[in-house]
Structure 1
Amino acid sequence: MVIAWVMVLVVVGSIAFHLLSPWWFPPLASNWGYIDDTTILTFWITGVVFAAVILFMAYCLFRFRHREGHKASYEPENKRLETWLVSLTAAGVIAMLTPGLFVWAQFVSVPDDAMEVEVIGQQWLWNFRLPGADGQLGRADNRFVTFDNPLGIDPDDPAGQDDYMIVGGELVLPTDRPIHFALRSVDVLHNFYVPEIRAKMDMIPGSVTYFWATLTEPGTYQILCAELCGTGHSYMRGGLRIVGQDEYDEWLAGQMTFAAFSS
């Protein structure tokens, strides 16, 4: 009976901790409130299942506890119970996965008018590349990475000469404009993560991953690496500042182009 009451207290304590916990989502700073909705739905489903299973175990300890004169009966299977358990489990899994599939489809369906930004991860630094006057990024490849070309921009591609380079500095982006984040790593696995814009995506050497977001709240945010990438992983942090279009244009005009950097 003590164990049964402990199980009941675990459920009550878990619910109280969830309701009173200070560790809620940070304020949303992008259009991806859908991600919050799917996360909350998952919490509800898994929370209800957790509470139901623990309380059922407590009930079984109470209902079928040892009592003098009572004898346990052995039932090897119960088809009706198995059908209910399989059906409820399948319904719960479908309810959790289906919204996520729709949100993921939106997450990687980049609008045609999105502004492209390249994020380059390396141990243990964040670098960025923005299109110049031609509005497009030039070709890049890790084989071109050198001390004088840390982002691996193709020096023979004219489209890359006016690309703006931010090496180890703060990234500034405008509000209320769709941004296409192209993610690349020059060494090992990294993960681009900005909690406030609900952005999290692996960066794989030799591949380009991506997502898009519309940044809605001006402010300064931290860029984190969410993939263990070596001894300096915890120090791999960058800055993201979201500003109005005029302030962004002024900041961009002061950045160095690839042509100027490599000359």
Structure 2
Amino acid sequence: MWMAGIGLAMAYTGERYNLPMGVTEISREVHGLHMLIFWVCVAIAVVVFGAMFYSVFAHRRSVHPKPADFHESTTVEIVWTTIPFIILIAMAIPAAGTLIKMEDTRNSDMTIKVTGYQWKWHYDYIGQDVAFFSTLSAESNRARQLGSGIDVNTVPNYLVDVDKPLVLPVGQKIRFLVTANDVIHAWWVPALAVKKDAIPGYINEVWARIDEPGTYRGVCAELCGRDHGFMPIVVQALPEDEYNAWLAEQKGSEVAAAAPAATTASDAGVDAPAEAVAEPAPAAGETTELAAAAAEEAPAADAAAAPSKDEQMAAGEKVYNGQCAACHQAGGTGIPPNFPSLVGGAVSTGPAAEMLNQIVKGKNLMPPFGHLSDDEIAAVATFVRNSWGNSASAVAPAEVAAQR
């Protein structure tokens, strides 16, 4: 599966038997060095094997029945030591220059923190208050399951597509801080010539400046466990104006998710029209009747505003497939012992508060999912607690808020 993932990543660069040219300055230098050294090796092979075949043919026994009797030649030894030395120096000088440039992350325009998890990636736009997980797309995840009955050849970008790609601007120097939360991973995007180990407790640095808009795919290149082959990388490079619009949209959606679902009475009073403000107050005898009517209507209004259990189940299934299925599997069976089964499990059928606390704050190998909105967490908790034979009441967003 490790080799299959690398093969898929290379296939999506347009190259099958060679390094891709890439879309960054470093990737082009790496490709140039690769081709230079390749042709040097070809020339050495031609010379060495040519000399061997010539010697075998020209000095065979039928032609020279008496072999030469010389033993050593200082001149020959100096020559065959000096020539490889010169070749190595000639290759090392440009290679060293490129290696130094690859490590120079100074004067970057933006920084992205990349964290590897079993088995997904987390991207944090430093200083921008934007962060999200990127996991295998739901379509690929369904197709890869045993007995799915899905022809994988019909799935677009099978195993190299994600639910949320890493979106980057074209023309900016981007510094990547690469680390991991559990085991060693490796963040590799061939078209960017970026490949860095993600090591728990350690931060590696690398950078890229993408020259051309497009979608560039990669994979984890370090064997990291059972689902190593199912944590692809997708980088979407956009022109700067489109990237700025995307970034504003992400910030706007986070603000909207954090805002309360309904305005308070004081907010409503501020925006109330002048006619409503000028409306006369009810008479003293009417006050009790109006209060009683409001008390009766309030529960009905809250029930109308809150989503039904069926709506939560539908929304929760989408969140589960995008965020949870990679580890807990589409059928909730999990990957014991690291990721326990949710079918009749102690957490999934126990107190809702305990389950919500684990979703929000994480536990053991499970990362925190506090970046999801209260509505999303309530929906996925409702889905898990009422699927695969589990049965429980719906979870309200207010219960999630209490665990934050």
TM-score (normalizing by structure 2): 0.49
Give the whole-Å Cα distance in 2 for the aligned partners of 1:201 and 1:62: 49
1:57 counterpart (42, 45, 52): 52
Give the whole-Å Cα distance in 2 for the aligned partners of 1:251 and 1:84: 61
Give the whole-Å Cα distance in 1 for the aligned partners of 2:71 and 2:64: 23
**1:180 paired to 2:172:** no
For residue 255 of structure 1, give the secondary structure of its aligned residue in structure 2: helix
The farther-off stretch of 68-77 and 184-193 is 68-77
CA contact (8 A) 2:189 2:233 kept: no
Give the whole-Å Cα distance in 1 for the aligned partners of 2:58 and 2:170: 60
Identical aligned residues as a percent: 30
Closer/same/farther in 2, CA of residues 220 and 63 from structure 1, 3 Å limit: same
Report the alpha carbon displacement of residue 77 of structure 1 after superposing the two structures with TM. 2.4
CA contact (8 A) 2:21 2:31 kept: no
For residue 44 of structure 2, give the secondary structure of its aligned residue in structure 1: helix
Report the alpha carbon displacement of residue 246 of structure 1 after superposing the two structures with TM. 2.2
Q: In proportion to residue count, which structure has more helix?
A: 2
For 1:138-197, what per-residue CA distance to the aligned partner results, in whole angstroms no more than 9, with x for missing partners? xxxxxxxxxxxxxxxxxxxxxxxxx32121231000000110011112222222211111
What is the one-letter code of the residue matched to 1:94? I
Counterpart residue number, 1:196: 191
For residue 25 of structure 2, give the secondary structure of its aligned residue in structure 1: coil
**1:165 paired to 2:160:** no
Counterpart residue number, 1:158: none
CA contact (8 A) 2:20 2:31 kept: no
For residue 207 of structure 1, give the secondary structure of its aligned residue in structure 2: coil
Q: Which has the higher contact order (CA 8 A, sep 6+)?
A: 1
Counterpart residue number, 1:253: 248
Gaps of 5+ in 2: 1-14, 135-163, 259-369, 372-403
**1:128 paired to 2:120:** no
CA contact (8 A) 1:192 1:199 kept: yes
CA contact (8 A) 1:222 1:238 kept: yes
Give the whole-Å Cα distance in 1 for the aligned partners of 2:64 and 2:38: 43
Give the whole-Å Cα distance in 2 for the aligned partners of 1:68 and 1:56: 17
CA contact (8 A) 2:170 2:238 kept: yes
Counterpart residue number, 2:23: 29
Report the alpha carbon displacement of residue 215 of structure 1 after superposing the two structures with TM. 0.7
Counterpart residue number, 1:90: 85
Counterpart residue number, 2:222: 227
Gaps of 5+ in 1: 1-20, 134-162
Report the alpha carbon displacement of residue 128 of structure 1 after superposing the two structures with TM. 0.8
For residue 34 of structure 2, give the secondary structure of its aligned residue in structure 1: helix
CA contact (8 A) 1:165 1:255 kept: no
The aligned runs of 1:34-53 (5 Å cut-off) are 34-53=29-48
What is the one-letter code of the residue matched to 1:70? P
**1:76 paired to 2:85:** no
Give the whole-Å Cα distance in 1 for the aligned partners of 2:94 and 2:63: 52
The farther-off stretch of 213-222 and 193-202 is 193-202
Give the whole-Å Cα distance in 2 for the aligned partners of 1:69 and 1:181: 65
What is the one-letter code of the residue matched to 1:121? G
- Structure showing greater Rg: 2
What is the one-letter code of the residue matched to 2:132? I
RMSD in angstroms over aligned alpha carbons?
A: 2.4
Report the alpha carbon displacement of residue 69 of structure 1 after superposing the two structures with TM. 6.4
CA contact (8 A) 2:115 2:121 kept: yes
CA contact (8 A) 2:20 2:190 kept: yes
Give the whole-Å Cα distance in 1 for the aligned partners of 2:250 and 2:99: 33
Give the whole-Å Cα distance in 1 for the aligned partners of 2:171 and 2:182: 33
CA contact (8 A) 1:121 1:203 kept: yes
For 1:106-138, what per-residue CA distance to the aligned partner results, in whole angstroms no more than 9, with x for missing partners? 1111232421011111222222110234xxxxx
For 1:182-220, what per-residue CA distance to the aligned partner results, in whole angstroms no more than 9, with x for missing partners? 111222222221111121222222211111111111111
What is the one-letter code of the residue matched to 1:127? H
Give the whole-Å Cα distance in 1 for the aligned partners of 2:57 and 2:198: 51
